[in-house]
Structure 1
Amino acid sequence: MAETKRVERPLSPHLQIYRPQITSISSILTRISGNGLIVAVVLAVWWLLAAATGDAYFATADAVVRSWFGKLVFLGSIWAVWYHYLAGLRHLYYDAGKGLDIPTAEKLGWACIIGSVVLTVLTVIIL
């Protein structure tokens, strides 16, 4: 049998020299916000099902929803809805063939992040 010669290749530098860019961060945040919304939906559905089940079970679910954890989940879901909405608008803009150059894409990424935080604060203040 022929012997195979092992080639010594350098290890991937990964994050040692690669700096995450705002475009990749915004893409990751879009996925995280979409998946994070699932947690809020599950909590809200559990609360509604508990309300239909009985008083004792509803008291437990209501205590969780009104706790710091429930408030944090719903605050995060407000941010996730706004971020996901703005990122969707950004992708519609990209689909039109506009904003694909690097400076514009970076500005749009920052606009999604900053805009979602501002809209979340406004939503909390108004509601």
Structure 2
Amino acid sequence: MASRPQARPLSPHLTIWKWGPHMAASIAHRVTGVGMALVGVPLFVWWLASVAGGAEAYGTFRDVFTVASGKLNIVGWVVGIGLTFAFFEHMATGVRHLVLDTGAGYELKRNKIGALACPVIALVLTAAFWLWMGLR
């Protein structure tokens, strides 16, 4: 005799959950990881190829990311600063996830503070890094 299937509980959908900083921090961790892979890896390969290609090839690469003959290349600086911010954001959210993996920081207030601190930390570290690079 065939029995009727039981009504199974539905998994909560995104429309049910109240969005908070902890969700944004988790999404930012994934986005920055993908961004560094899609932009950083080809950029690293270009740098390696330019180093292997000789002085002229490396000069072209360097001109994109530095002030060449008094002319600032905005695209290179935006990519460089963007990758730096992505790196520090990914690092900060990674440390946050590491702390959460130990079982600590799940209290609502502490979780919210940790999630909000990640972009602030990334912004401060990015600014400090580029100021340090400019002073060298």
Aligning the two structures, in what range does the TM-score lie when normalised by the shorter sequence? 0.7 to 0.9
Q: Percent identity between the aligned chains?
A: 32
Give the drift of 1:84: 1.3
Partner of 1:37: 36
Partner of 1:52: 52
Gaps of 5+ in 2: 1-12, 67-72
Structure in which a larger fraction of residues adopt helix: 1
Using the TM superposition, name which of 40-49 and 58-67 deviates more.
58-67
Match runs of 1:1-127 below 5 Å: 20-38=19-37, 39-66=39-66, 67-127=73-133
- Alpha-carbon distance in 2 for matches of 1:31, 1:58: 32
TM-score calculated relative to the size of structure 1: 0.75
TM-score calculated relative to the size of structure 2: 0.70
- Alpha-carbon distance in 2 for matches of 1:121, 1:61: 23
- Alpha-carbon distance in 1 for matches of 2:97, 2:14: 27
Give the drift of 1:51: 2.9
Please, what is the CA RMSD of the aligned residues? 2.4
Contact 1:47/1:65, CA 8 A, preserved across alignment: no
- Encode CA deviations 1:78-122: one digit per residue, 9 max, x unaligned: 111211111111111111111112211111001111111111111
- Alpha-carbon distance in 1 for matches of 2:103, 2:95: 13
